Amino acid sequence: MDARDGAWHKQPERTSRLVALLLVQFAFSGLLVACGPTCTGNTREYNGQCLGGVAITYIECTKGRGFDLTTKLGGKLGGTFKVVADASVEAAYEEQKQENTVVGLQVVSDCLKIAEAEADSAADKTAAEESRTRADMIRKQVQETAQIEIDPAQARIGETLSVSGRNFYPDEIVAIYLHATLVKQEKADSQGAFSTTVAVPKSAPPPDFPTTVTATGTTSQKSAQVPFERLP
């Protein structure tokens, strides 16, 4: 028997191995399909999640403009369009705080406007409108100058002052100082505003020594101050 006869006898063995390999690959691919999400209704699979058409349109819009929600939202990518829209605004806000840029907030606002126009249901239209309003509000707040007011502008040690502020970051902690003394920390609301009272500390400068009450956002570093004078 020559070499060709040996090769001929090995051919069925090679064929069997090839068939076995193909069967394994087919079974593995079937397992992957079985492990994927089973989407129902008006949803379809997108990035391992079941999402409606308006959510997918919105995500593709932000992704095309450099704010990729598939990476920024992680586990929050799934759920209703409202869940996706709300989470995207918070992700853009977090980017703004870390990188001091409103680009993400602008992208989110622009794409939510598109999603609002293309939404098929009233619920999705409302979700897009509400999230866009919040994104625009945050963008406006972070760009505006912080302001505070006090009442009265003169007081004695131990007396209280009403202190109010606006245009800080939403939900950030605002540190309030009288001269160089930290007298209180107050959390701003979702509009970036706060209102509180503080007591004039013993460390306040002496009478006839004009000083200030200052409020500084611990995240934004926005700061505002107004004159104050201690009374005898």
Tell me the pLDDT tens digit for each residue of 133-167: 999 988 988 889 999 999 999 999 999 999 999 99
Strand segments, DSSP code E, in 152-201 are 154-155, 160-166, 173-178, 181-187, 194-199
Which residues in the chain show pLDDT less than 50? 1, 3, 8, 24, 26-34
- Can you give the pLDDT at residue 58? 95
Q: What is the CA radius of gyration of the chain?
A: 30
Phi–psi pair at 201, nearest 5 degrees: -80, 165
| Domain boundaries defined on the chain | 43-143, 147-230
* pLDDT score of 28: 47
Tell me, what's the pLDDT at 182? 98
Sequence-ordered alpha helix ranges (H) in 122-224: 122-143
pLDDT at 21: 53
* Gap between the Cα atoms of 181 and 54, Å rounded: 52
Query: Residue for token digits 């992680």?
Result: 74
Give the dihedral of Cα atoms 179, 182, 184, 186; nearest 10 deg: 90
Give the count of beta carbons closer than 10 Å to the beta carbon of residue 227.
Answer: 11
210 preceded by a cis bond (ω within 30 of 0):
no
Name the DSSP class of 36.
S
CA angle 201, 202, 206 (to 5 degrees): 110
CATH class, 147-230 region: mainly beta
Query: What is the model's pLDDT at position 143?
Result: 87
